[in-house]
Amino acid sequence: MKRVILCRPEGPRNVGMIARICQNFGPCELAMVSPEKPSMLVHPEFVQMSHGADCVSAAIRVFDSLPEALADCTASVGFSARVRGNRVRTDWRDLQGSVVGSAEDPDQRLALVFGNEVTGMTRAETDLMGELAHIRTAAEHTSLNLAASVAVVLSSLFSGRSSHRHEPGGSMLNGEGRDFLKARLKEVFAGQVALTESAGEDITASIERVFSRVPLENRDARAWHLMLRALGSTMTPTDLGLEPNRRSGRRKDALERAERRKEPDGEA
């Protein structure tokens, strides 16, 4: 389990955005230590920016001190853009792999601690951390917004299922479309391009092996058919008794039943 701890946060907008981020990359707890504004969680800007993150917002815990917020945590990482004392800061990209197990284990609680928007973490706060990390940025602009920092860290630890599992893309080529493409490829490359019978057999075997296995979309098939037509092929699906663009079985059956219902009584 992850717990984001904000030390002395000032901006209700930032905290509201962080509540949203915790919900995006959860499960994740959100806690504050001595917020600058006691009314932070009812501030209009917090309410506006946390819209849609009611589960996280309602469960935010407020502590008087960082040791209290860390009391039930099994590991901790503090994030600081500045060197504090003699503590060595590790690039977060190098550190995250060693803490991801704690973040995913429901029996552990990994504290991810961030300082005030203006002053960052104090030396006393960094001294309490098991690990201290920094987020690498471009040298030309090293300042990173608090909410953005939390987003970078939680996103890199997120291992849940994405809500966008099916991205937009082309439709897959059906079985008869694949058979027609293979037949046309064999006609041109094995039947017309190959110089010997042996070469034709090798090409035929290769086409069957490759084009039977590889995932193909309809747009892939169209591109191949354009090339084959340019090479002189006039073969059509009807030459092979195929219907590569027919509707799926259940949809086709439903449409046929609907057409039959429209027919007058007594007609076939």
Q: Would you write out the chain's pLDDT as a tens digit for each of its 268 residues?
A: 999 999 999 989 999 999 999 999 988 999 999 998 888 899 999 999 998 888 888 899 999 999 999 999 999 999 998 887 778 899 999 998 899 888 988 899 999 999 999 989 999 999 999 999 999 988 888 778 999 999 999 999 987 766 555 556 667 888 888 999 999 999 999 999 889 999 999 999 999 999 988 888 888 899 999 999 999 999 998 888 887 665 545 555 566 666 666 666 544 4
Residue 46 and residue 12 in contact, taking contact as beta carbons nearer than 8 Å: yes
Question: Within this chain, do residues 20 and 151 fall inside the same structural domain, yes or no?
Answer: yes
Question: Within this chain, do residues 109 and 189 fall inside the same structural domain, yes or no?
Answer: no
Question: Within this chain, do residues 101 and 189 fall inside the same structural domain, yes or no?
Answer: no
Question: Within this chain, do residues 128 and 56 fall inside the same structural domain, yes or no?
Answer: yes
Task: For residue 256, give both structure tokens.
Answer: 């046929």
- Confirm whether 165 is domain-assigned: no
As for how many domains the chain has, the answer is 2
What is the pLDDT, as a whole number, of residue 219? 87
Which of 157, 190, 225 is the C-terminal boundary of a domain?
Answer: 157
What is the pLDDT, as a whole number, of residue 37? 85
Q: What is the domain extent for residue 69?
A: 2-157
Q: Phi then psi for 206, rounded to 5 degrees?
A: -65, -45
What is the pLDDT, as a whole number, of residue 82? 83
Question: Within this chain, do residues 133 and 8 fall inside the same structural domain, yes or no?
Answer: yes
DSSP structure class, residue 201:
H
CA 123 – CA 144 distance, rounded (Å): 20
What is the pLDDT, as a whole number, of residue 263? 60
Enumerate residues 6+ apart whose C-beta is below 8 A from 33: 5, 6, 7, 8, 62, 63, 64, 65, 66, 68, 69
Question: Within this chain, do residues 87 and 209 fall inside the same structural domain, yes or no?
Answer: no
- Confirm whether 162 is domain-assigned: no
Residue 180 and residue 237 in contact, taking contact as beta carbons nearer than 8 Å: yes
pTM listed for this prediction: 0.61
What is the pLDDT, as a whole number, of residue 268? 42
CA 58 – CA 72 distance, rounded (Å): 20
Residue 78 and residue 126 in contact, taking contact as beta carbons nearer than 8 Å: yes
Question: Within this chain, do residues 142 and 102 fall inside the same structural domain, yes or no?
Answer: yes
Question: Within this chain, do residues 82 and 205 fall inside the same structural domain, yes or no?
Answer: no
Question: Within this chain, do residues 133 and 196 fall inside the same structural domain, yes or no?
Answer: no
Question: Within this chain, do residues 185 and 117 fall inside the same structural domain, yes or no?
Answer: no
Question: Within this chain, do residues 123 and 7 fall inside the same structural domain, yes or no?
Answer: yes
Enumerate residues 6+ apart whose C-beta is below 8 A from 32: 5, 6, 9, 15, 40, 60, 61, 62, 63
> Taking the CA of residue 249 as centre, how many other CA atoms within 13 Å lie in the half-sphere pointing to its CB?
3
